[in-house]
Amino acid sequence: MLAAEVVAPEPIGPVLFVYHNPSWNLAYAHERELQAVAAARFIEEIVGQRELHVVLAADLDADPASSTARFWTGRQALDGMSVCYRDAWESKHPGEPGHTFGVPENPLGVDWDWPYRRIDYIFVRCGEHGGPTLAITACERIFDQPVDGVWASDHFGVMADLDLPPRR
């Protein structure tokens, strides 16, 4: 996990950007759970009582139905801990698969039968009233086409536009 606090201009203010990349091995679901909880505890220690936006980018090596994706989105507790982050892709493209890995048209995929297709995420931490502290105004896949026959990666990228949420 990598984390960096960025002081964005007001009115946004400080933002904690976190990258989380747990164990990829398909048989390591339990290890991914332990790693998710350790990452979440670390984030919560940094945030403390401050009002701090948190954006979590992750290659979970697991699909949205997994325990770790469910943990990050507040749908499942792990090891006695709960958090709630909004999945940017799900927010802007409900019901759409959003595949980022193992896509047949990308020849860089190394496993022809990898079971998970959406494994890359952008999450925005939710505030005490349930919604994300930053509004997700757009979310798109990027690097999902070759340029002059060259693919950027075996993964497609995910990009989100974030802004202050509307006032109520």
Report which residue type is found at 113: D
The pLDDT tens digits of the residues spanning 32-83 come to 999 999 999 999 999 999 989 999 999 999 999 999 999 999 999 999 999 9
Indicate the helix (H) or strand (E) that contains 16. strand 14-20
Phi–psi pair at 7, nearest 5 degrees: -90, 100
Question: What are the boundaries of each domain within the chain?
Answer: 2-163
Residue reference for tokens 């759409």: 96
DSSP code of 116? -
pLDDT band at 28 (very low <50, low <70, confident <90, very high): very high
Residues of the chain above pLDDT 70, percent: 99
Report residue 163 CA to chain centroid gap.
Answer: 17
pLDDT at 102: 87
User: Number of C-alpha atoms within 13 angstroms, CB side, residue 81?
Assistant: 19
Closest CA to 24 of 101, 97, 132: 101
2-163 has CATH 3.60.10.10 classification: yes
What predicted TM-score, i.e. pTM, was given to this entire model? Answer: 0.95
